[in-house]
């Protein structure tokens, strides 16, 4: 027999489960897999919504990605061209060759030993020995005075060493010249430092110009992405105000626009990669023709895979940053009225 209920005891509805037994498992499920699934579903919905909005505006989205591609491909293309010019380092180092003229009394064994000692130094790339006989033969061929030189009682030309430095640096070359002048059997050391300084100045100017251009174009790219995201925010102002009115967080409102900036960055980065590949291939035809006139096999190298992925990663980051700045600036104005 059941005991009668007292006012202090709550009643129990027939067929109802014990509420205290079911609360704990539900909370545990929501805090673990439920919250993770909700987070994934929210991001998936935001990404899908952003992608669909971009696809629904093909022309506007394409031109936005094209502007991003042009802004990225200009500094990267100039950097690649400068890198291709660095491949001509051997020719540029030949322009900075040091000519070491030995004394007439220097024997062939002494000249050979001096060449071996110089090859062991770290600041020297290559050393070429030109004997007195070879110097006379070369001078006869280039000057056209072969018959006159044969009538001389002895060879008036000294042996010489052509030294190619490891680096084209004016300060290091000056130190190398001083050390060569103090070596035994050396009569004269000749180097055109003015040409080397001009070459180094042109390289530094090119690097600084690319760096400044990169900063300007990055700022312009952030403005383009920010302005595009701002237009999307204005088109969805009413929707955003309703979301914030029902308790939507700033992160929930910001998420689809961040995905939109990332997608614009992906599109712009891929287009920039294609523009660089096509531009270098088009320019390479003229470069090969010019190099063949100088009996050279030089050609422009393509876009390295590492540089391509760096370009794509930079485009994604810039798209994300531009979208973040635009949303953060206008999110304070989108308060529910």
101 plus 83 within the same structural domain: no
Per the domain annotation, does 284 fall within a domain? yes
118 plus 169 within the same structural domain: yes
Interatomic CA distance for residues 278 and 70, integer angstroms: 13
Per the domain annotation, does 236 fall within a domain? yes
160 plus 205 within the same structural domain: no
224 plus 293 within the same structural domain: yes
207 plus 323 within the same structural domain: yes
Residue 219's Cα: distance from chain center in Å? Answer: 17
| Residue that finishes a domain, picked among 144, 171, 191 | 191
Q: Which of 126-131's residues contact partners 24+ apart within 8 Å by CB, and which partners?
A: 126/163, 126/164, 127/161, 127/162, 127/163, 127/164, 128/161, 128/162, 128/163, 128/164, 129/159, 129/160, 129/161, 130/159, 130/160, 130/161, 130/162, 131/159
143 plus 160 within the same structural domain: yes
Per the domain annotation, does 67 fall within a domain? yes
Per the domain annotation, does 223 fall within a domain? yes
Q: What is the span of the domain harbouring residue 168? A: 97-191
203 plus 70 within the same structural domain: yes
Per the domain annotation, does 75 fall within a domain? yes
| Residue that finishes a domain, picked among 191, 212, 238 | 191
Q: What's the pLDDT score for residue 321?
A: 92
Write phi, then psi, for 88 (nearest 5 degrees).
Answer: -85, 20
Q: What's the pLDDT score for residue 155?
A: 72
Per the domain annotation, does 337 fall within a domain? no
| Residue that finishes a domain, picked among 127, 159, 191 | 191
The total number of structural domains that make up the chain: 2
Interatomic CA distance for residues 108 and 50, integer angstroms: 78
170 plus 314 within the same structural domain: no
Is the entire prediction scored with pTM above 0.85? no
Contact 169, 204 (CB under 8 A): no
68 plus 146 within the same structural domain: no
- Divide the 337 residues of the chain into consecutive groups of 10 and give the mean pLDDT of each group: 47 43 45 77 85 88 90 87 69 70 86 87 84 77 62 75 80 84 87 71 84 90 88 82 77 86 92 91 84 75 85 91 86 61
Per the domain annotation, does 15 fall within a domain? no
Q: What's the pLDDT score for residue 274?
A: 93
The pair of structure tokens assigned to 49 is: 């919504």
63 plus 101 within the same structural domain: no
223 plus 302 within the same structural domain: yes
Per the domain annotation, does 80 fall within a domain? yes
CB atoms near residue 200 (< 10 Å):
18
222 plus 102 within the same structural domain: no
Map residue 32 onto helix, strand or coil: helix
């Amino acid at each position: 027999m059941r005991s009668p209920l007292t006012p202090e005891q709550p009643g129990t509805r027939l067929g109802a489960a014990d509420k205290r037994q079911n609360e704990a498992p539900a909370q545990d499920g929501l805090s673990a897999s439920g919250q993770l699934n909700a987070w994934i579903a929210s991001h998936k919905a935001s990404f899908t919504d952003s992608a669909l909005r971009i696809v629904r505006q093909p022309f506007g989205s394409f031109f936005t990605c094209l502007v991003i591609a042009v802004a990225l491909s200009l500094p990267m293309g100039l950097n690649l061209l400068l890198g291709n010019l660095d491949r001509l380092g051997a020719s540029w180092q030949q322009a900075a060759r040091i000519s070491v003229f030995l004394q007439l009394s220097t024997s062939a064994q002494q000249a050979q030993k001096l060449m071996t000692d110089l090859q062991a130094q770290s600041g020297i790339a290559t050393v070429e020995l030109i004997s007195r006989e070879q110097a006379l033969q070369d001078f006869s061929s280039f000057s056209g005075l072969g018959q006159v030189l044969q009538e001389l009682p002895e060879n008036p030309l000294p042996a010489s060493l052509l030294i190619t430095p490891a680096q084209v640096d004016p300060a290091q070359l000056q130190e190398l010249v001083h050390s060569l002048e103090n070596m035994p059997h050396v009569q004269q050391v000749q180097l055109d430092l003015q040409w080397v300084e001009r070459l180094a100045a042109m390289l530094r100017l090119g690097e600084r110009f690319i760096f400044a251009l990169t900063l300007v174009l990055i700022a312009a790219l952030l403005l383009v992405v920010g302005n595009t995201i701002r237009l999307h925010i204005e088109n969805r102002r009413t929707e955003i105000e309703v979301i914030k009115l029902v308790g939507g967080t700033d992160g929930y409102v910001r998420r689809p626009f961040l995905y939109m900036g990332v997608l614009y960055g992906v599109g712009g980065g891929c287009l920039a990669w294609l523009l660089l590949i096509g531009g270098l291939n088009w320019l390479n035809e003229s470069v090969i023709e010019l190099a063949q006139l100088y009996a050279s096999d030089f050609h422009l190298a393509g876009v390295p895979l590492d540089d391509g992925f760096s370009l794509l990663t930079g485009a994604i980051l810039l798209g994300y940053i531009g979208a973040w700045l635009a949303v953060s600036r206008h999110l304070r104005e989108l308060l529910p009225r």
